[in-house]
Structure formats: structure tokens, C-alpha cells
């Protein structure tokens, strides 16, 4: 059976994929993300997930490589990781009381057979109204404010209370890795449980 490789160094994605009980390795792809066009969130994550998977796949002749990329999307604007706390503060003020989308592109390739599949998963996120005090408390408490494309961590700290509800994949938002979609894609490219 080909080994499974996640093209990521994200501790959230690595931990979440581990829930499946599938043996795997993780490798960073060092992909130059600036080469991807940023007009459409679905096309962006689709292209970047493919670039990341292919960067790892070229070094393995018998592996199933999974590449992923995620962005937030609100009011016609693609959100990637905020570059400063000031940018994150403004972003959270914008998202407060509104719904936004979280997109993850997943590209799975079996290097032994060259079979590859690409999918994009969208989760709709409904935020409650946030006070400036709550936003500042989160930013002061969490040194990893830019871990997520949306600038908050849906698992830990005060920001776990920011979300009122979601529609779509729970694990897509929680770890940027839609497990239910990935399991189906692994089967499609020929992965079988030993």
C-alpha cells in the first residue's frame, strides 16, 4: 500500500488527520503561493492545494499525497492570514454579526498510478456580534492570532465563543482539513485499509 503524506506542517491539520487512524507522514511543501491568482477563493485554494501536493509528489514514486489550502471569504474579499494584530482587529470587526465563508481546497494524488482528484469544500460561518473588548482580549491572550485565514482560532481561547453556527464541514473550519471529503478522495485514488 502506498504511504500517505500530508503536504503540510500545520499542527492543526496533522492532529486532525490523526483522528482517522491512518498511518501517515507530514512534509512541508515550501510552495511559492504568490504565483496563484487571487480573484476567486475556490480557484485559489484549488490551485494552491495542487501546487503543494505536486511539490511533495515529485519526490515519491509510491505515495498518496494530500495537499490543502484554506482562505476565508467575506463581502467579495479573500481573507488570508492577517499580517498584524491591527489587521486582525479590523477583520474581526467586519465579520462581527455577519456570516462568511471558509474554503479549503484538497488535492489528492496517487504517485504510483498518477490518479489525482481535486475538490473544494465550503463552510458557511455565522458570527455573533463581538464587542471591541472581546476582540482585544482575544488578541492580547493569543500569540497565534494569525494561525487561521480568518484571524481567529475556532478551538481555543475566547474566540471559540465567536461562532454562532456553521453550515457545512465541521472539521474544515476546525482544522482546515475536511475529513469526510478526504476519506472519500483517498478511496477514489486507490487507498485501502490494510
Give the CATH class of 3-188: alpha beta
Q: If you search the block for the grid coordinates 483517498, which residue do you land on? A: 186
Q: Are 136 and 89 in contact (CB under 8 A)?
A: yes
CB 126 within 8 A of CB 161: no
Given this model, what pLDDT does residue 146 score?
63
Phi and psi angles of residue 132, each rounded to the nearest 5 degrees, phi first: -60, -35
The Cα–Cα gap between 29 and 147 comes to: 18
Residue 56: what pLDDT?
96
Told to judge if 69 belongs to the known catalytic residues of this protein, a careful annotator would answer: yes
Catalytic residue among 32, 69, 75, 142: 69
Cell numbers given for 127: 458570527
Which pLDDT value is given to residue 81?
81
Please list, residue by residue across 181-193, b when 16 or more beta carbons sit within 10 angstroms of its beta carbon and e when fewer do.
bbeebbeebebee
pLDDT in tens, the chain (194 residues): 779 999 999 888 999 999 999 999 999 888 777 666 777 999 999 999 999 999 999 999 999 999 999 999 999 999 878 888 888 899 999 999 999 999 999 999 999 999 999 999 999 999 999 999 998 988 888 666 666 677 777 776 677 889 999 999 999 988 889 999 999 999 999 998 76
- The residue extents of the domains of the chain are 3-188
Instruction: Output the pLDDT for position 24.
Output: 95
Cα(33)–Cα(47) distance, integer angstroms = 9
Amino acid at each position: 500500500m502506498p504511504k500517505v503524506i500530508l503536504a503540510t506542517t500545520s499542527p492543526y491539520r496533522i492532529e486532525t488527520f490523526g483522528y482517522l487512524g491512518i498511518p501517515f507522514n507530514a512534509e512541508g511543501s515550501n510552495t511559492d503561493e504568490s504565483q496563484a491568482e487571487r480573484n476567486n477563493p475556490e480557484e485559489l485554494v484549488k490551485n494552491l492545494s495542487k501546487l503543494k501536493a505536486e511539490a511533495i509528489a515529485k519526490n515519491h514514486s509510491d505515495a498518496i499525497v494530500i495537499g490543502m489550502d484554506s482562505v476565508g471569504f467575506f463581502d467579495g474579499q479573500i481573507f488570508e492570514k492577517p499580517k498584524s494584530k491591527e489587521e486582525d482587529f479590523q477583520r474581526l470587526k467586519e465579520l462581527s454579526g455577519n456570516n462568511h465563508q471558509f474554503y479549503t481546497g484538497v488535492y489528492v494524488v496517487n504517485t504510483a498510478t498518477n490518479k489525482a482528484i481535486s475538490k473544494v469544500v465550503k463552510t458557511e460561518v455565522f458570527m455573533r456580534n463581538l464587542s471591541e473588548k472581546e476582540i482585544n482580549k482575544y488578541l492580547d491572550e493569543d500569540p497565534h492570532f494569525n494561525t487561521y485565514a480568518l484571524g481567529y482560532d475556532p478551538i481555543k481561547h475566547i474566540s471559540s465563543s465567536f461562532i454562532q453556527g456553521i453550515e457545512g464541514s465541521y472539521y474544515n473550519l476546525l482544522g482546515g482539513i475536511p475529513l469526510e471529503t478526504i476519506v472519500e478522495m483517498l478511496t477514489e485514488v486507490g487507498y485501502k485499509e490494510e
